[in-house]
């Protein structure tokens, strides 16, 4: 199972195995990792699952949809490596993925 | 003061359907929602998107579902109190006294919380120190545009509200429109108009910039904006407006003495009552083992909660299970009974 590392804003790191086909958001929520709220349950409608993807990994993720880009506008302090965790699907190629959480989600 | 059999917090699909379930067993409901319109997530987040899993409706949109639900509850003439948030719920003898943000008071034996993920509120600037300027120099909506006349206003956002207000206010104010990307996601036509106004010197556009920090002691005097590559710029301004859409906030619900599990309210699945007698939670906001955040689950939850409300609203009467197909009293309440 791919291993995903979530780093809280305070630096606390959580590495967990997340089954393929789940989203990176679900990986955090199922493991009770703080820092990802996911108020809309993964419908790309709340921007409270915002993460900064590690630079090395960013280009390995698929392209953002327009809908995700629009929602990211609403996130807190997005940058060029920002993604919505509910829009990233876990697969074998993402084994080792590192994402950081912002200081707040909303 | 308004007396009612049940007060419903939230006019989302689940809040609407429980009005029906209360109505057919003869209970009157009042509905309060913080939004300015009826429909909850369906109307606010996906009015035009399709839903395929409402029983017996192969396909409908968020708006279509809301309209059908409103149609279905029309016979019960529920009162909607929109633009009002339920602030407090306190015990008063055998009733609950419910107070809204507009100081409206309801007295009822039953409070049904169908509050979804919380009340929809404008998404705010999260810049340090912003609170002390909010509602003075910092706003998230425009109540009276003349308030900004002949003043300098910085408008943040890339959607329709930001574009529309930038265009409108540019007629009477000095406007700077600031957005974190070069593309605007509002209507193409509005983006064109804004760009034309910029060319004509009637409006300034700053992209890709975000707010970085604030200037001013007791009064906001200016802001610093920052681009992705770290470039900063200082802008002196009278007001700033942020249009970042809406966010769901649990808000006052957390202060009513109910047990909470993260942002949800655990319930007894026999009647969807919370840890307080006469306070029920249904729809996305309730939690129990196996809970699915689906509209259809919320409908079932409402059906059971409504029956439990009956006992508290009409303690001296006996509740009888009936089918709408054959029940004369239900059909009378629905206004469909044919005289035979
Ligand atoms: C993009 C998207 C697609 C979806 N697709 C589907 C689908 O296909 N099928 C499906 O079954 N579900 C779907 N859902 C989920 C579905 O929309 C929710 O399950 C449903 O809206 C929950 O209804 P509700 O009435 O419990 O709450 P909501 O719809 O969230 O409504 C709650 C209302 O309560 C109000 N409120 C909260 N607190 C207060 C307060 N203190 N005072 C006043 N008002 C308050 C809020 O303002 C809000 O209007 C989808 C959700 C999204 C975001
Ligand atoms: S969970 Fe809401 S946008 Fe990702």
Contacts of B157 in chain A (CB under 8 A): 73
In a domain, B126, yes or no: no
User: Within this chain, do residues B264 and B238 fall inside the same structural domain, yes or no?
Assistant: no
Residue B32 CA, ligand 2 centroid: distance in Å:
26
| Terminal-residue alpha carbon distance, chain A | 31
B110 pLDDT exceeds 80?
A: yes
Rounded Cα distance, A68 and A47, in Å:
9
User: Is the CB of A55 inside 8 Å of chain B's CB atoms?
Assistant: no
Contacts of A76 in chain B (CB under 8 A): 126
User: Within this chain, do residues B116 and B11 fall inside the same structural domain, yes or no?
Assistant: yes
CB contact under 8 A, A40 and B45: yes
B237 pLDDT exceeds 80?
A: yes
Count of CB pairs separated by less than 8 Å, A with B: 48
Q: Judged by CB atoms within 8 Å, which residues 57-116 of B form the interface with A?
A: none
Out of B244, B277, B300, pick the residue that ends a domain: B244
A55 pLDDT exceeds 80?
A: yes
Extract the runs of DSSP E, i.e. beta strands, from chain A. 3-7, 13-17, 50-53, 82-84, 98-100
CB contact under 8 A, A46 and B247: yes
- Give me the number of domains chain B comprises: 2
CB contact under 8 A, B46 and A43: yes
Tell me which fold the domain A3-100 belongs to: Ubiquitin-like (UB roll) (3.10.20)
Of the candidates A41, A48, A73, which has its C-beta nearest B185's C-beta?
Answer: A73
B337 pLDDT exceeds 90?
A: no
Ligand 1, atom 15, lies closest to the CA of B294
Q: Which of B280, B275, B260, B266 minimizes the C-alpha distance to B110?
A: B280
Number of H helices, E strands in chain A: 3, 5
Band of residue A73 on the pLDDT scale cut at 50, 70, 90: confident
Sequence ranges of the domains in chain A:
3-100
User: Within this chain, do residues B262 and B308 fall inside the same structural domain, yes or no?
Assistant: yes
- Tell me which of A27, A44, A65 to substitute to probe ligand 2's pocket, judged by most ligand atoms within 8 Å of the beta carbon: A44
B73 pLDDT exceeds 90?
A: yes
User: Within this chain, do residues B39 and B100 fall inside the same structural domain, yes or no?
Assistant: yes
Query: Measured between alpha carbons, how far is residue A49 from residues A21, A99, B128, B335 in Å?
Result: 17, 11, 21, 47
In a domain, B340, yes or no: no
In a domain, B78, yes or no: yes
User: Within this chain, do residues B142 and B40 fall inside the same structural domain, yes or no?
Assistant: no
CB contact under 8 A, A46 and B248: yes
Only one residue has tokens 């002196």, namely B236
Out of B244, B265, B280, pick the residue that ends a domain: B244
Check pocket membership of A29 for ligand 2, CB cut-off 6 A: no
CB contact under 8 A, B159 and A70: yes
Band of residue B126 on the pLDDT scale cut at 50, 70, 90: confident
B313 pLDDT exceeds 90?
A: yes
User: Within this chain, do residues B188 and B228 fall inside the same structural domain, yes or no?
Assistant: yes
In a domain, B177, yes or no: yes
Rg of chain B taking only CA atoms, in angstroms: 24
Task: Give percent of chain B above pLDDT 70.
Answer: 99
Residue B120: predicted pLDDT:
87
User: Within this chain, do residues B29 and B76 fall inside the same structural domain, yes or no?
Assistant: yes
Task: Give percent of chain B above pLDDT 90.
Answer: 89
B340 pLDDT exceeds 70?
A: no
Contacts of A70 in chain B (CB under 8 A): 158-159, 185
Structure confidence by residue, pLDDT tens digits, B9-35: 999 999 999 999 999 999 999 999 999
Check pocket membership of A47 for ligand 2, CB cut-off 6 A: yes
Q: In terms of CA atoms, which chain B residue is nearest residue A102?
A: B126
pLDDT, mean over chain A: 94
User: Is the CB of B314 inside 8 Å of chain A's CB atoms?
Assistant: no
Contacts of A104 in chain B (CB under 8 A): 126
Residue B231 CA, ligand 1 centroid: distance in Å:
40
In a domain, B339, yes or no: no
Complex-level ipTM beyond the 0.85 threshold? no
Which domain, by its residues, includes B252? 2-121+247-334
Contact B272, B308 (CB under 8 A): yes
| Choice among A66-75, B42-51, B203-212 with the minimum mean pLDDT | A66-75
Q: Count the residues in chain B.
A: 340
B246 pLDDT exceeds 90?
A: no
Structure confidence by residue, pLDDT tens digits, B148-164: 999 999 999 999 999 99
Rg of chain A taking only CA atoms, in angstroms: 12
User: Within this chain, do residues B73 and B154 fall inside the same structural domain, yes or no?
Assistant: no
User: Which position has the higher pLDDT, B338 or B204?
Assistant: B204
User: Within this chain, do residues B238 and B253 fall inside the same structural domain, yes or no?
Assistant: no
Residue B116: predicted pLDDT:
95
Q: What is the mean pLDDT of residues A72-78?
A: 87
CB contact under 8 A, B158 and A73: yes
Min distance A6 CA to chain B CA atoms (Å): 20
Beta carbons within 8 Å of A10's beta carbon, 6+ residues apart: none
User: Which position has the higher pLDDT, B187 or B223?
Assistant: B223
pLDDT, mean over chain B: 95
Beta carbons within 8 Å of B150's beta carbon, 6+ residues apart: B172, B173
User: Within this chain, do residues B227 and B181 fall inside the same structural domain, yes or no?
Assistant: yes
Q: What is the mean pLDDT of residues B237-244?
A: 95
Beta carbons within 8 Å of B218's beta carbon, 6+ residues apart: none
User: Within this chain, do residues B148 and B224 fall inside the same structural domain, yes or no?
Assistant: yes
User: Is the CB of B158 inside 8 Å of chain A's CB atoms?
Assistant: yes
pTM, to two decimals: 0.89
Residue A62: predicted pLDDT:
87
Residue B174's CATH number: 3.50.50.60
B339 pLDDT exceeds 80?
A: no
Q: What is the mean pLDDT of residues B176-189?
A: 91
User: Within this chain, do residues B28 and B110 fall inside the same structural domain, yes or no?
Assistant: yes
């Amino acid at each position: 199972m791919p291993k995903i590392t979530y780093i809280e804003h305070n630096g606390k790191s959580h590495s967990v195995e997340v089954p393929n086909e789940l989203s990176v958001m679900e990986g955090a929520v199922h493991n009770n990792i703080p820092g990802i709220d996911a108020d809309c349950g993964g419908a790309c409608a709340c921007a409270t699952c915002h993460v900064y993807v590690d630079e090395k990994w960013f280009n390995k993720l698929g392209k953002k949809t327009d809908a995700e880009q629009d929602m990211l506008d609403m996130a807190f302090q997005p940058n060029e490596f920002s993604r919505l965790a509910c829009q990233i699907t876990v697969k074998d190629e993402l084994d080792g993925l590192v994402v950081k959480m912002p200081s707040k989600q909303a | 003061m308004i007396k009612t059999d049940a007060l419903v917090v939230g006019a989302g699909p689940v809040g609407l359907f429980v009005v029906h379930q209360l109505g057919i067993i003869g209970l009157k409901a009042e509905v309060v929602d913080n939004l300015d319109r009826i429909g909850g997530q369906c109307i606010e987040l996906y009015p035009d998107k399709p839903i395929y899993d409402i029983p017996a409706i192969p396909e409908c949109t968020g708006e279509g579902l809301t309209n059908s639900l409103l149609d279905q509850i029309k016979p019960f003439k529920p009162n909607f109190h929109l633009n009002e948030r339920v602030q407090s719920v306190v015990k008063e003898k055998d009733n609950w006294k419910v107070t809204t943000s507009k100081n409206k008071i309801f007295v009822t034996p039953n409070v049904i919380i169908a509050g979804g993920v919380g009340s929809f509120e404008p998404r705010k600037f999260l810049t340090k120190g912003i609170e002390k300027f909010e509602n003075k120099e910092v706003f998230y909506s425009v109540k009276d545009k003349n308030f900004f006349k002949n003043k300098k206003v910085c408008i943040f956002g890339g959607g329709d509200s930001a574009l529309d207000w930038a265009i409108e206010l540019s007629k009477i104010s000095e406007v700077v429109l600031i957005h974190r990307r070069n593309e605007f996601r509002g209507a193409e036509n509005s983006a064109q108009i804004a760009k034309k106004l910029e060319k004509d010197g009637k409006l300034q556009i700053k992209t890709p910039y975000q707010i970085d920090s604030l200037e001013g002691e007791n009064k906001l005097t200016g802001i610093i904006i920052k681009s992705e590559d770290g470039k900063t710029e200082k802008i002196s301004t009278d007001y700033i407006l942020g249009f970042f859409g809406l966010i769901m906030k649990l808000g006052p619900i957390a202060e009513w003495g109910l047990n909470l599990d993260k942002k949800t309210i655990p319930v007894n699945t026999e009647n969807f009552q919370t840890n307080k007698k006469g306070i029920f939670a249904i729809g996305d906001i309730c939690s129990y083992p196996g809970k699915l955040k689906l509209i259809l689950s919320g409908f079932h939850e409402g059906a059971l909660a409504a029956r439990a409300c009956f006992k508290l609203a009409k303690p001296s009467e006996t509740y009888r299970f009936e089918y709408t197909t054959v029940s004369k009293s239900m059909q009378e309440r629905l206004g469909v009974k044919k005289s035979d």
